[in-house]
């Protein structure tokens, strides 16, 4: 099997091979999509996203199946996917069954009736039925992105009309209505009101948050990382006032071929992610050896973008800072992620966020010393641990801090 097919061809069968693992997982939906006419009523989960191609003239998309579906929300709920233990084909089935109904919008002059409809859908706490008239029948396809969940078949919209009754939660209504509230403050407010980051991303991406004159459409891919960054940065500042944990804690979890070993140490706040992409996994399809990427921040945080681990860094940091905020503790966190060949299709950074959240909800293993904790982690990882020790700035900093303490 040529795993490079998944990252380059992305299911379009350009190689003309008789078998494609992406096509085999979702081919049942190609006939459903291509038999859809130019006029249909569908139920949005609700789900909307803004593309980044041809920026500042971007594609504004409403994702919807081509029928009314009371379970449509399951097509756009990473938390549900994780809790239900859905596998890659399950997730692809849900995503590929939707049409990306889209229109071109200029972010500099976004006065557009389709944008008004998308904004209503994005704000709604319930599913929304809408009728769509397309320029032509949709053609089946499925596109992938490192940060977002897969996107189904695009189709240009001619006209759209909401036929259901959107219902907006009070916190969202308040944040959207307050045109004097800065975007960062609106994000923190919604998060405190238990609005999940998936919902905040949608409304932020559609230009519904922030000071009125500064509001604009933002590509969803960028917004996902911006939301994870803003929330986790705020939480990190708050946990610095807490006492450190008293033991060395190790958390573990595996989902969709992604294995995590997470170390929390009784030190002041530091954070590091080290990712290993094994050969034949989605990000190292033809490599002969594992590839390592890492990014780190000290007590004072980052001043530059985590360009090695990219969006996954901020999703991981959000999960870890949430844990410390909940337990009212401070710690240094080392997150090691091994991406195995089983992860053969990119699904987005929600995989990292939800898998780490799941790990941190489990009872940790406690150790008296750093050496004992690392010895245990070593037994659970496939890559020789010396590679991680050599790569890790956090472990180096901790060893240096211990030496200074002993010297004093």
Helix H segments across 268-392? 311-327, 350-361, 370-380, 385-391
Judged on CB neighbours under 10 Å (0-12, 13-18, 19+), 380 is: middle
In the chain, what is the straight-line distance between the N-terminal and C-terminal CA atoms, in Å? Answer: 59
Looking at residue 7, its pLDDT comes to 44
> CA-CA distances (angstroms) from residue 123 to 84, 389, 406?
25, 46, 55
Our CA dihedral for 143, 60, 64, 357, rounded to 10 degrees, sits at 70
Q: What is the pLDDT of residue 93?
A: 87
**Pairing outcome for strands 270-277 and 291-297:** antiparallel
Residue 87: alpha-carbon gap to chain centroid: 16
| Rounded distance between C-alpha atoms, residue 121 and residue 172, angstroms | 12
**Residue 193: how many other CB atoms lie within 10 Å:** 13
pLDDT at 9: 54
Q: Respond yes or no on whether the N-terminal peptide bond of residue 76 is cis (omega within 30° of 0).
A: no
Give the number of other CB atoms < 10 A from CB of residue 89: 14
Contact indicator for 164, 128 with CB cutoff of 8 Å:
yes
Measure the CA–CA gap between 349 and 315, rounded to whole angstroms: 7
Domain residue ranges in the chain: 4-162, 178-239, 248-407
Task: Region of 280 please: left (phi>0), alpha (psi -120 to 50) or beta.
Answer: left
Residue 6's pLDDT is what?
47
Q: What pLDDT, on a 0 to 100 scale, did the predictor assign at position 132?
A: 96
* 10-residue averages of pLDDT along the chain (408 residues): 41 49 58 84 91 89 93 94 94 90 86 91 94 93 86 93 94 97 97 95 96 93 96 97 97 98 97 97 90 97 96 98 97 98 93 98 96 97 97 92 45
What pLDDT score was predicted for residue 404?
39
């Amino acid at each position: 099997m040529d795993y490079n097919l998944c990252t380059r061809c992305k299911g379009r069968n350009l190689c003309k091979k008789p078998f494609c693992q992406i096509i085999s997982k979702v081919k049942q939906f190609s006939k459903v999509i291509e038999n859809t006419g130019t006029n249909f009523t569908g139920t949005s989960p609700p789900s909307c996203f803004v593309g980044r191609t041809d920026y500042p003239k971007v594609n504004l998309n409403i994702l919807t199946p081509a029928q009314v579906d009371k379970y449509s929300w399951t097509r756009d709920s990473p938390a549900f996917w994780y809790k239900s233990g859905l596998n890659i084909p399950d997730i692809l089935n849900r995503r590929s069954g939707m049409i990306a109904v889209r229109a071109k919008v200029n972010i500099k002059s976004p006065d557009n009736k389709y944008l008004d409809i998308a904004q209503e859908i994005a704000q709604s706490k319930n599913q929304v039925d809408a009728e769509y008239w397309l320029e032509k029948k949709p053609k089946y396809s499925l596109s992938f992105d490192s940060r977002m969940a897969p996107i189904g078949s695009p189709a240009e919209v001619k006209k759209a009309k909401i036929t259901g009754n959107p219902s907006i939660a009070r916190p969202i209504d308040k944040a959207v209505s307050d045109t004097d509230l800065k975007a960062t403050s609106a994000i923190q407010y919604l998060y405190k009101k238990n609005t999940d980051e998936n919902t905040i991303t949608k409304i932020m991406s559609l230009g519904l948050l922030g000071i009125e004159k500064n509001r604009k459409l933002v590509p969803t891919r960028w917004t996902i990382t911006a939301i994870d960054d803003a929330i986790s940065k705020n939480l990190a500042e708050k946990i610095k006032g807490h006492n450190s944990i008293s033991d060395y804690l190790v958390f573990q979890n595996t989902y969709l071929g992604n294995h995590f070993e997470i170390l929390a140490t009784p030190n002041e706040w530091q954070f590091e992610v080290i990712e290993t992409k094994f050969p034949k996994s989605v990000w190292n399809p033809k490599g002969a050896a594992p590839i390592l990427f890492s990014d780190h921040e000290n007590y004072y945080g980052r001043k530059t973008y985590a360009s090695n681990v990219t969006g996954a860094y901020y999703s991981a940091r959000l999960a870890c800072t949430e844990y410390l905020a909940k337990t009212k503790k401070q710690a240094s966190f080392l997150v090691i992620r091994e991406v195995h060949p089983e992860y053969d299709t990119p699904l987005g950074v929600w995989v990292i966020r939800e898998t780490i959240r799941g790990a941190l909800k489990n009872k940790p293993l406690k150790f008296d010393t750093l050496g004992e904790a690392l010895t245990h982690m070593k037994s659970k990882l496939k890559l020789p641990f010396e590679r991680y020790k050599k790569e890790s700035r956090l472990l180096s900093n901790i060893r240096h801090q211990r030496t200074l303490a002993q010297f004093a």
